[in-house]
Structures are given as structure tokens and as C-alpha cells.
A and B are shown apart, each in its own frame.
Chain A
Amino acid sequence: MALLEVKDLKQHFTIKKGFLGEKKKVKAVDGVSFHIEQGETLGIVGESGCGKSSLGRTILQLIKPTSGDIFFGGKNITHLPRKEMKELRKDMQIVFQDPYASLNPRSTVRAILETPLIVHGVGNRQERRKVVEGLIDKIGIRKDQLDRFPHEFSGGQRQRIGIARALTLNPKLIIADEPVSALDVSVQSQVLNLMVDLQKELNLSYMFISHDLSVVQHISDRVAVMYLGKIVEIADVEELYRNPLHPYTKALLTAVPIPDPTKKRDRIILQGDLPSPINPPTGCAFHTRCPVATPECKEESPELREKAMGHWASCIHVHHEQSEKTKINIS
């Protein structure tokens, strides 16, 4: 049984627009289904505005979903009463992108790490102290630094504190929303290595949201690619990077600059920008930028279908037998 299962999840925001107050909807998440196993990392990639962050927040029910179901450990948690949901939050935690904005500047690191324990009534003072001290040991911060404030730490250290905070209640699932995007590369690798080590040690599941395809490849077991609120492709990490099926995934992969000047690739350069999610194109949302779009794509909204073992893509132009031919060499 999967630890987390999401079925046809939708998150539609109503926004006011226009002088007469006519209401419009942003379909931030529009019918997303996937699952995450215990101890597994699912990477979610996509460009800005594709709905990847809204998806993370909806799963944690920091915002209530418009429709769809979320199962955690086999239990439908979509309509849980407040009290039960609070209890459940111990098992699912979040790490945010900006380590400067997500830690309270007026609290010491000790207080930041102890708060979740107090909120959930875990242990007495001494026990809590022990938990906190055990945690900072894991993330490589010294005991004598516990009474310092966030501003006294570097970006990388702060992000490690953010991770420690997420770990205080022994969660099973951590949703990490661009956890290394604000960090310099040498520090980014420290944090990524820490996350991998912690996962092994604690058998954590990660949902790792990022726009950086190289980072996602590094940390994920499976990867889902999102475009305008929908998953357009999902597969095992090796399969997805070696044999991308959806034209968007292909373009995305060839667009990433590779730090190797000896390799020259044929790049698929997409025209234009991401369309506005307020008024997404009809049919396949990608057809306005797609290099292989046909008139059918305008009409027909493609479904996510299994094109090869465990490899799902939503494009009417991808068939089983095609998959071999469309292989591209990304390295």
C-alpha cells in the first residue's frame, strides 16, 4: 500500500477580475493523480505557474482542495475533522524554499525546534530537550549554537534548521518545496546529501518539488512533470531522463544547460511563454507551444496513459511502439 495516494485532485482558486467583479478561476491543480511509497522520493518538476507548489500545499491541506481525494496510509484524509487532521500533521511536514523567510527571526533555534513538540504535547521539558539536541546533531549544527537566532546562521545552515524542524515529530512524509533553490551550489550539495542521508536513516518519503531538472534527477526515484496544473508525464527517474515521451518533457530536458562544454546537443527551443493558467488553451494545454501539435490537439484533451511499464504520458501522439524511436540522448 502506498504511503500517499492522490486521486483526481483539483485546486481551483477563484480570483476577482475586471471592474464588474466577474469571477474567474485559476485551475492551479487540475485533476492530478499519483502515489508515493514509503521511503521513496517523488520529484515534481515544472516551470513557474505550473501548479507544483499549490499541489504540495493542497496535499498538506494548508489549502483545502476543490475536489478529489487524498489517501495517507490508506486512509482518506480529505475531509477529516480538524482535530484528527492536527494529529495527522505529525506524519506529514513541509520544508520551504526560502530559509530566510521561513524561520521566525525572534526565536532561537532551540525554540524553533521545540515549538512543534509543544504544540503536539510531546514529552516533558527534559525529553523535548533531548529530542532537539539529537536532531541538531543529525544536521551538523553544534549544541552551543542552539541559543542563537536564525540571522546568525548562513543560508545553508538555516535550510538545515528548516529540515530539522520538519523532522521533530518523526514524520513519514516530507514535502520539500524548492528546498535548495535559494542556495549556492556548494551549499546546495550539502543540503541534498543531508536529505539523502536522513531518508536512508529514517525511511522517509519525500515529495521533492523543484524547477531544477538536474537536482530532481539526483534525488528522485520517480519523477512527475507538470504543465499548467496537470501531470503530463510520470515515470521512474532513469526511464524519464533517458526516454522522455511527452514533447514538453523533451523540450524541458534539452533546454537545461549542461555543464560540459564538450557536449553539443540538438536543442528543442519552445516558442513563447507559459500561457496564463487563468485562461489555459483548449484541448491539450501544451498545443500552443508544441513542436508536433496537430489540429486534433486543439480539440482533444489527452489523458495520462501508460505508454510503457510504469511510464505514463498524456499526449495523443505518443504510442507504445513510438517510444523506442523517440529516444533522445540527453547526456
Chain B
Amino acid sequence: MLLELNDVSLSLKRDGKYVKILDGISLQVKKGETVGIVGESGCGKSMTALSVMRLLPEKAKLEGVIQLDHEDITSYSKRKMEKIRGNKMAMIFQDPLTSLNPLHTVGRQIEETLILHTDLNKEQRKRRVIELLNEVGLPRADEIASEYPHQLSGGMRQRIMIAVAMACNPSLLICDEPTTALDVTVQAQILDLMNHLKDVNEMGIIMITHDLGVVAEVCDRVVVMYAGKIVEQANVKELFINPKHPYTKGLLESIPKLGVKKAKLGSIPGMVPSPDKMPKGCRFYERCSSAMEVCKGTTPPMSSVGEEHTAACWLYEEKGGEMNGSSGSEGLEATLHN
């Protein structure tokens, strides 16, 4: 296991009091695997990534255990984190223009990572920068290395971001909406590049996105988040063919699909609750079409609903709130299938 999050919670200080943004997140990423985290704005998908990178605001309260390569990094000091950030794990952000420094050439920005984390000499670093630029598919690498971010197009900037992230061959790469700001034809290029790099380098990738199309194309496994919690986890085919949680179902039904023309799209009524007014019980309760009495008061536990497929929903637990009801859930499932 490359990365393991165990019961991770995060609280941020807002207006003098702590508000829980993430609540009991547990997930795993294996070597060479791409795990997608999907959900709508405000569900906590980016905060999950930032918690792993420990790029959190002041006074953030992080609980639980995050393990990278079987080592607990939650207790790491600031300095120790800096050593692995950009080295063992790297991150790509949504907007390449604001993530790059406008005052330095892109070559220098790639080199900076190498200065920090390797003992290559100047000559070797220069060569590695050119090598990286070639790897991410940029032509005229030596010219581009001496250009500034504003001289490049959006797609090229995102390639530079990838080059920066790849500089030290990280074992974990976190991508936060890497193609959202790009046009579709450029997005296709970048996704293609990322798939290629993954195969070559055997990285584990966390892909954060709201685009279920992107998930279907690049991910092996998917984690669906809603209001700061994980509601469903499965491998990508299983999730799309056999979604279990009403929220996942609702999401899948509300996207128009290319090649399929429907008169009406499905939709989820209402909106995401705000973190300081989280409802008790299931957080999706108010918007859920299959809500029951038990959902209102008691948080549903994660239940196994298939092979390596879990969902947090009372539909798959013994009704009436028996907490240790894995045997009961099977019984209920059987009746659901009939």
C-alpha cells in the first residue's frame, strides 16, 4: 500500500470556532493505481488532498492517521514534510497560471525542485530539465525552458506543472482538477500524457475531479464524497454500472451523455448543506429520494455492498439501525435483488 488514510478528520477555524470539514475519511492508494475522488463543490475532495500534502491553513486541526509507504506522516514536523513534499509526493493544481511564478522562467521553476531534493550539479540539473520537458511532450525544450509562464498556452503551462511534479519521480501524484481549466482537445492531450506517465513510472495517482467522464477514462478506483464524508467506494466499472448510494446514482443520472439523447435529465433536489449546519444522521437525507426514518437520526456506517465495493447508506444495512448488522445487510440485499 502506497498511501493509507485512516479515519482522517479535519477541522478549520471559522469565526472563532472549529468547523469539521472532513469527517472520518479512510482510503487507500496502491502503487501504479489511479484513485479518483469525485464530488460537487464543497464536498471536501480538495481538502483531502491538501491534508495528505499538509498544505493546510493555520490552526487547522488534523486528526487520524495518514501513512505514506507504511510510515505515519501525520506526526512529521514541518521540516520533515518539506523533505517529502515535491520529492516523494507531488501535486498538480487546477489553474496552471496561478500556480507558476510569473517572474521566473519555467526552466528555473522545474530546476528549483531539483535543487531542493537532489544533489545534481548545475550541468546535470540543466540536462534533467530538458529531459523532463521532453517527457511531458513539449517541443523545442531548450527554448521553452527559458520562457516565462505568460508566454505559454494553458495546455503547455499544465505540462510544465506536470514536469515540476515529476522532477523527482514521486511515488504519489495528487492532481486537483488538472484539466478543468482546459479546452476539450487540450484536455485529451493532458489525460493521454498522464496515462502514459503513470504506465512508465508506476506512480500512485489521486485524481480529484467533478467530471465523471474524466474519472471513467483514467481511474482504476473511485471514491465518492458528499459533504465531507465518503459515501461510496468501488472500482471504476462497478461504480458506473452498479452504483449503490442514492447520491452516486443521482450524480450519474444528472449528466447528459454523449450519444444518448434523453428528454429529461435526472436531478438531485435541494443543495449541499453547509459545514457548520450539517444535519444529524445521514448528510444526504434531505435530498435523498429513498430516505427512511432511520436516516434522519443516525449516521449510516460503511457497509460492504459487493466485492471491494462499500457504501454508507442505511438501504444496505438492517433497517432500524442495528449497528453490527453485516449479516443483516446481506439478507436485505437479497431481498433488494428479488
A: residues with CB less than 8 A from B are 47-48, 154, 156, 184-190, 192-193, 196, 211, 213-215, 217-218, 237-238, 241, 251-262, 267, 269-270, 273-274, 330-331
- A185/B212 contact (C-beta < 8 A), A47-B183, A241-B258, A331-B259 known: yes
Chain A residues whose C-beta falls within 8 Å of the C-beta of B216 in the assembled complex: 257-261
The range of chain B's interface size is 35 or more
B: residues with CB less than 8 A from A are 40-41, 153-156, 183-189, 191-192, 210-217, 236-237, 240-241, 250-269, 271
How far does the alpha carbon of A328 sit from the alpha carbon of B184 in the complex, in Å? Answer: 18
A189 engages B265 (CB within 8 Å): yes
Q: Is the interface of B mostly helix, strand, loop or mixed?
A: helix
A-B contacts, CB under 8 A, total: 130
Closest chain-B Cβ to A144's Cβ sits at a distance in Å of: 17
Closest to B188 in A: A255
A270 engages B258 (CB within 8 Å): no
A218 engages B41 (CB within 8 Å): no
A218 engages B267 (CB within 8 Å): no
Chain A residues whose C-beta falls within 8 Å of the C-beta of B260 in the assembled complex: 331
B266 engages A189 (CB within 8 Å): yes
How far does the alpha carbon of A144 sit from the alpha carbon of B213 in the complex, in Å? Answer: 39
Chain A residues whose C-beta falls within 8 Å of the C-beta of B189 in the assembled complex: 269-270
A273 engages B186 (CB within 8 Å): yes
How far does the alpha carbon of A260 sit from the alpha carbon of B259 in the complex, in Å? Answer: 12
Q: Which 9 A-B pairs have the closest CB atoms?
A: A331-B259, A257-B213, A218-B256, A189-B254, A255-B188, A47-B183, A189-B265, A184-B40, A186-B268
Q: Is the interface of A mostly helix, strand, loop or mixed?
A: helix
How far does the alpha carbon of A154 sit from the alpha carbon of B274 in the complex, in Å? Answer: 11
**Interface-centre pick from A215, A237, A257 (highest chain B CB count, 10 A):** A257
- When the two chains form the complex, which single residue of B155, B257, B262, B264 contacts A260, counting CB atoms closer than 8 Å? B257
B251 engages A331 (CB within 8 Å): no
B188 engages A269 (CB within 8 Å): yes
Chain B residues whose C-beta falls within 8 Å of the C-beta of A241 in the assembled complex: 258-259
B240 engages A261 (CB within 8 Å): yes
30 A-B interface contacts by CB (under 8 A): A47-B184, A48-B183, A186-B250, A189-B253, A189-B255, A189-B266, A190-B267, A193-B265, A196-B263, A196-B264, A211-B183, A213-B184, A214-B255, A217-B258, A241-B258, A251-B185, A253-B258, A255-B185, A255-B188, A257-B188, A258-B213, A259-B213, A259-B257, A260-B216, A261-B237, A262-B237, A267-B188, A270-B185, A270-B188, A330-B259
A255 engages B236 (CB within 8 Å): no
B184 engages A252 (CB within 8 Å): yes
A211 engages B265 (CB within 8 Å): no
Closest to A45 in B: B184
Q: What would 15 more interface pairs be, CB under 8 Å, given A189-B253, A252-B185?
A: A47-B183, A211-B183, A214-B213, A214-B255, A214-B256, A251-B185, A253-B258, A256-B258, A257-B191, A257-B211, A257-B216, A257-B217, A258-B217, A330-B258, A331-B260
Closest chain-A Cβ to B95's Cβ sits at a distance in Å of: 14
How far does the alpha carbon of A74 sit from the alpha carbon of B40 in the complex, in Å? Answer: 45
- When the two chains form the complex, which single residue of A217, A252, A269 contacts B256, counting CB atoms closer than 8 Å? A217
